[in-house]
Amino acid sequence: MKRRTVITGLAGLAATATFEGRVDAATLPQSLNPADPSHLGLLQKKLIYATDDRPLIWWIRGNKYGSINGELTPLWTLNVVLFKSVSHNEDGRFDAKSMEIVYKTDVETDEPLSKWRNPYNGEVYDEEPLIMGPLSRRFTDAGPISQTELPGAQIQRSGSLGPAEIAGDDVWLISDANVVLSREGQRDFRANDLSTYHGKVSDVLNPDIPSPPSTMAVHIVQSWHPWMNMGDQEGTLITRISGAKCFEVEDIHPRILTMVKQHHPEIAKDFVARLNGPPERFDR
């Protein structure tokens, strides 16, 4: 049986000499106000993306669980890499082009999965790395503009930005997304992505750092994937993953980097070129 899956995803970065840029200090606030929408927009640009135009990478790792009547069952480990590029517009909005690759490994051994057995119904599925994108989305200070297009499927994706939490020099930014994915002949797939990004206030307010170091933690609450053939069984998929942003392929988490080089060496060599190519058809 052919394995089909989906993971919604998110974005990333950190400063390098190759794409150095500087923000006009006059445009930056003296301090951050987590209730100010424009400050949330600044946090979005700095922690998740960049204030200049550049390519960047997020890597994320963690486990997917099934939940029936509150009992959690580990299913597989997600190894995700998101390749992105940022382009700013004169109206203050910016576009982010993103390509997501998902590699699944065994929860116990962390070895790549070629097959996966559903513990709930005993079905066995073929496994292979999955690519979604590259796709572009536009962002404002309020977060991403709703997405309705996805090759091979219908998608309704909306997002919200904030609030932010500040303690000393630490800042945490919440960015949530709600997704409904529809494909002919399948039940709708629903997901709620709850993401938290962390960085330093001093970095955000530094005009010489277009994209400071940051990390993320994501919790995703989803319906069963249609390909799991769970029928009328009530239950939920829960994902707990975390990761960091970087600019260089070699700075990706070493477990994920090994799989990128093995399965997608051309992307490892030049991910920017692939970001400028056509999107993969969504058949998962």
What average pLDDT does range 114-139 have in this prediction?
94
Predicted local distance difference test score (pLDDT) of residue 26: 55
Nearest to 198, CA basis, from 172, 162, 175: 172
Percent of the chain topping pLDDT 90: 69
Task: List phi, psi (to 5°) of 187.
Answer: -70, 150
What average pLDDT does range 13-29 have in this prediction?
52
Q: Is residue 188 included in any domain, yes or no?
A: yes
Instruction: Work out how many domains the chain is built from and give that number.
Output: 1
160 or 156: which leads in pLDDT: 160
Encode 169-193 in three state secondary structure. Answer: CEEEEEEEEEEEEECCCCCCEEEEE
Predicted local distance difference test score (pLDDT) of residue 119: 97
Q: Contact, 46 vs 204, CB < 8 A?
A: yes
Q: Is residue 203 included in any domain, yes or no?
A: yes
At 103, list the tokens.
């590699």
154 burial (CB, 10 Å; 0-12 / 13-18 / 19+) is middle
Predicted local distance difference test score (pLDDT) of residue 8: 30
Q: Is residue 265 included in any domain, yes or no?
A: yes
Q: Is residue 45 included in any domain, yes or no?
A: yes
Instruction: Answer yes or no: is pLDDT of 110 > 50.
Output: yes
Predicted local distance difference test score (pLDDT) of residue 283: 56
User: Please, which pLDDT band fits residue 153 given cuts at 50, 70 and 90?
Assistant: low
Predicted local distance difference test score (pLDDT) of residue 189: 82
Q: Running DSSP on this structure, what letter comes out for residue 252? A: S
Predicted local distance difference test score (pLDDT) of residue 90: 86
Q: Is residue 7 included in any domain, yes or no?
A: no
Q: Is residue 208 included in any domain, yes or no?
A: yes
What average pLDDT does range 151-161 have in this prediction?
74
Name the residue range of residue 36's domain: 25-275
Nearest to 191, CA basis, from 4, 1, 6: 6
Instruction: Answer yes or no: is pLDDT of 22 > 60.
Output: no
Q: Is residue 3 included in any domain, yes or no?
A: no
Hey, which residues does 84 pair with through a beta bridge? 56, 98
Instruction: Answer yes or no: is pLDDT of 129 > 60.
Output: yes
Instruction: Answer yes or no: is pLDDT of 21 > 90.
Output: no
Instruction: Answer yes or no: is pLDDT of 6 > 50.
Output: no
Predicted local distance difference test score (pLDDT) of residue 150: 59
Q: Is residue 136 included in any domain, yes or no?
A: yes
Percent of the chain topping pLDDT 70: 86
- CA distances to 49, 141, 234, 248, 259 from 54, in Å: 9, 19, 44, 12, 24
Query: CA neighbours within 13 Å on the CB side: how many for 54?
Result: 29
Question: Tell me: the pLDDT tens digits for 210-241?
Answer: 999 999 999 999 999 988 999 999 999 999 99
Residue with tokens 């899956």: 5
Predicted local distance difference test score (pLDDT) of residue 11: 31
User: Please, which pLDDT band fits residue 142 given cuts at 50, 70 and 90?
Assistant: confident
Q: Is beta strand 236-246 parallel, antiparallel or unpaired with respect to 189-200?
A: unpaired
Instruction: Pick left, alpha or beta for residue 55 (phi over 0 → left; psi -120 to 50 → alpha; otherwise beta).
Output: beta
User: Please, which pLDDT band fits residue 20 given cuts at 50, 70 and 90?
Assistant: very low
Predicted local distance difference test score (pLDDT) of residue 282: 54
Per the prediction, the chain carries an average pLDDT of 87
The H-or-E segment that residue 227 falls in is: none
110 burial (CB, 10 Å; 0-12 / 13-18 / 19+) is exposed
